């Protein structure tokens, strides 16, 4: 393998090579560090790196394989979002106000990853307080798409997705309150999983928000399934995770007889032609492989945008507002926030009982439609991002967003993810479908029945086998080979 091949090697293949003593975790980590040095100045995906500690952990993993005592993820590199707490590490949430904030505890997901032998070698950039579907902040600057650096890698887990696409890590975590795993997965051509609410434990109080999910990201389905097995399941600190076990699902060898329902626009979204065309082409691949593909009708409308704002103003939004008011209420501290953060706070504050009741009614309207669809099909598919060509330094608080020549809501009108946070008991997989005219990946969401996460993973893996391969030696982000100047985020 070349050093670049090591950087893009699947996690499952690496584990086999480690066990057979054909490769060392140290070799792979050194290759990824070299890759980071070569490309990250063009992508800006990383907030912190831990080379010395990571190499020491890789050497310990090498010894564990020699003793025959390797754990499930022994020696695999894993990036963690600069929002997720690891005891003793600075966790900034992308904000100047928290640039020196040291975590006093470890969240369940990194706790389980480290216990399984994963090496946490870097922290990935996020927009300030994860309140945007792109990734830039006044603290960390602009994170760019490895495939096409003029455009965003999505958000809020944009740094994690970009690091995976650029070969700087083998695995990455993510969080998702309105699409923050699936949007960057789509933008960067990787796979990302928003599991059913409670399947992957989260910290209080976010675990009690049914729209809020912790999840996993990888470059292929086998690696994603491997990581999910480690992080999923009840955790003593999370009451929402105390669910009955998910039924194991055998691998699905053929799509013959699988019923696939799809909607291109959920009833109201505008789509760029490339998104429409790539989704339909992907559905044709599934149909050629034996799946029964049928178009279904969803009747959503602009009301889902307002519903999402209300729901995001409940637990997560209210806590953010409270903390900022109580801890950082001075005028000069407020001025340190990004413009989009202040916009978000204005539009999600003071959510009263009437608005909450209305948003719950909206959730029920979405679920009734989805329940009728899932009664007829095995999985439901729709696009993830309606317009993948969003500028890397886009700011929804002041910029206009056009899709196919029509202006849409700049905050939420360009991605189709948050309806499935509202019905968060449904697992959703994000997978790539193709490219835009300027080389940005496009993607689809695959929605499964409530709490049937393993079944959805098996079906998504079956879909992956009949779709064009990603991240082989002929399909990797090539703009990284050239030079790209990365300006600081707009102040």
Give the residue numbers marked as catalytic: 81, 156, 180
Nearest-angstrom CA–CA distance, 413 and 185 = 18
SS3 80: strand
- CA–CA distance, 386 with 409 (Å, rounded to integer): 12
Rounded to 5°, the CA angle 459-461-462 comes to 65
Contact 164, 36 (CB under 8 A): no
**d(C-alpha 148, C-alpha 166), whole Å:** 11
- In the chain, % helix, strand, coil (3-state, to 5) comes to 40, 15, 45
Query: Helix (H, G, I), strand (E, B), or coil: what is residue 303?
Result: helix
Closest CA to 182 of 452, 444, 460: 444
DSSP SS3 for 289 = coil
- Quick count: other Cβ atoms within 10 Å of Cβ 208? 14
- Residue matched to tokens 């904000």: 95
DSSP three-state, residue 447: strand
| SS3 (DSSP) at 423 | coil
């Amino acid at each position: 393998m070349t050093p670049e091949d090591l950087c893009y090697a699947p996690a499952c293949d690496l584990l086999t090579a480690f066990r057979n003593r054909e490769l060392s975790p140290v070799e792979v980590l050194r290759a990824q560090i070299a890759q980071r040095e070569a490309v990250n100045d063009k992508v800006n995906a990383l907030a912190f790196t831990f080379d010395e500690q990571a190499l020491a952990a890789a050497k310990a993993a090498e010894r564990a394989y020699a003793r025959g005592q390797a754990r499930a993820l022994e020696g695999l590199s894993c990036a963690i979002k600069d929002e997720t707490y690891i005891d003793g590490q600075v966790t900034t949430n992308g904000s100047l106000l928290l640039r020196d904030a040291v975590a006093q505890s470890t969240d369940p997901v990194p706790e389980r990853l480290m216990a399984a032998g994963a090496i946490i070698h870097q922290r990935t950039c996020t927009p300030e307080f994860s309140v945007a579907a792109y990734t830039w902040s006044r603290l960390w600057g602009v994170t760019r798409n490895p495939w096409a650096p003029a455009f965003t890698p999505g958000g809020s887990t944009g740094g994690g997705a970009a690091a995976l696409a650029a070969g700087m890590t083998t695995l990455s975590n993510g969080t998702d309150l309105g699409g923050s795993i699936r949007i960057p997965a789509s933008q960067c051509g990787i796979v990302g999983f928003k599991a059913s609410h409670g399947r992957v434990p989260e910290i209080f109080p976010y675990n009690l928000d049914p729209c809020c999910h912790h999840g996993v990201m990888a470059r292929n389905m086998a690696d994603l399934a491997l990581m999910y097995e480690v992080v999923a399941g009840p955790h003593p600190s999370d009451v929402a995770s105390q669910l009955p076990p998910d039924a194991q699902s055998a691998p699905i060898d053929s799509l013959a007889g699988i019923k696939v329902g799809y909607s291109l626009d959920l009833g109201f979204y505008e789509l760029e032609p490339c998104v429409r065309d790539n989704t339909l082409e992907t559905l044709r691949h599934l149909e050629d492989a034996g799946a029964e593909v049928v178009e279904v009708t969803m009747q959503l409308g602009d009301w889902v945008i307002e519903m999402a704002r209300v729901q995001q103003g409940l637990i997560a939004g209210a806590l953010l507002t409270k903390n900022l008011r109580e801890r950082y209420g001075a005028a000069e501290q407020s001025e340190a926030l990004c413009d989009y953060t202040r916009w978000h706070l204005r539009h999600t504050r003071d959510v009263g009982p009437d608005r909450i009741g209305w948003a719950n009614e909206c959730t029920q309207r979405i679920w009734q439609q989805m329940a009728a669809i899932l009664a007829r099909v095995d999985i439901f598919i729709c696009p993830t991002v309606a317009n993948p060509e969003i500028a890397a330094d886009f700011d929804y608080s002041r910029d206009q967003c056009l899709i196919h020549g029509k202006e849409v809501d700049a905050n939420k009108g360009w991605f189709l993810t948050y309806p499935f946070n509202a019905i968060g008991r449904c697992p959703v997989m994000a997978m790539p479908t193709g490219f835009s005219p300027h080389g940005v990946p496009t993607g689809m969401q695959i929605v499964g029945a409530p709490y049937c996460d393993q079944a959805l993973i098996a079906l998504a893996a079956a879909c992956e086998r009949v779709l064009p391969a990603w991240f082989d030696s002929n399909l990797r982000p090539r703009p990284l080979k050239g030079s790209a100047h990365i300006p600081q985020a707009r102040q």
